[in-house]
Amino acid sequence: MSNDYKRLAKDGIWDNNIVFAQALGLCPLLAVTGTATNGLGMGLATTVVLVASGLFISLLRGIITPQVRIPVFVLIIAVLVTLVDMSMNAWVHDLHKVLGLFIPLIVTNCAILGRAESFASRNTVMASMYDGLMMGVGFTLALVVLGATREMLGSGTLFANAEMLLGSWAKAIELTLIPDYKGFLLIILPPGGFLMLGFIMAGKRLIDRSLAERQARMADDDAELTLESTS
């Protein structure tokens, strides 16, 4: 069982990462990742919705029939997002001012419907919530990495305005890497998001390939060793 959960974590964060492996949720991704802080906020909000939709959809999987599942899933996700939007507006208003524009975009993140359809509708409540959490962590990670890269290259800062999201202690992680940087406009605009995403995905594939090669070499070595010892 614990192996399953380890598998889920590895899938969500690396092997089957929503952005870098499945290439889903690109609409909110490109819209918000101008800065690392926005990416982090969007990632956290999406994680909340992923976990909650995992909970409700796996709870209701016994009564929802395959014929009507899609509209019901969409309805559940839309209600969750709207409730998150309203409660953030009312009770964490400063954060909502930063992220408000992007919260409704969560509905357009097909990764959430994808997880509901392919995982939560056929697994237990615990596993579905855990899967949602791990997929959300993977998504957050992707958003922060992409946001940080674009922010560093595009505006020469890192985690600008983080105190609006995380409280006053976060002033410490707000960095100006290049003072008097004139900015690199292309990277801040959506095309720059596509470019950076492409580079990062290529990087991930290179790492995956070198890992696979190393594993294959080790398997070969093992095979040779066993051959030598048997001969």
Token duo for residue 19: 């952005």
**Least spacing, CB of residue 163 vs other proteins, in Å:** 14
Give the side-chain half-sphere CA count within 13 A for 156. 10
Site for other proteins in 85-124 (CB under 8 A): 86-87, 89-91, 93, 97, 121-122
Closer by beta carbon to other proteins, 70 or else 126: 70
Size of the site for other proteins (CB under 8 A): 31
Q: Which residues contact 53 (CB under 8 A, 6 or more apart)?
A: 73, 76, 77, 80, 112, 115, 116, 120, 132
What x/- string results for residues 164 through 183 when contact with other proteins is judged by CB under 8 A?
A: -------------------x
C-alpha 97/C-alpha 79 separation (Å) is 21
Whether residue 192 contacts residue 154, with contact meaning beta carbons closer than 8 Å, is answered with yes
146 is an interface residue for other proteins by CB under 8 A: no
Nearest distance, CB of residue 195 and other proteins, angstroms: 16
230: Cβ contacts below 8 Å, ≥ 6 apart: none
Residues of this chain that bind other proteins (CB under 8 A) = 34, 61-69, 71-72, 75-76, 78-79, 82-83, 86-87, 89-91, 93, 97, 121-122, 183, 185, 188-189
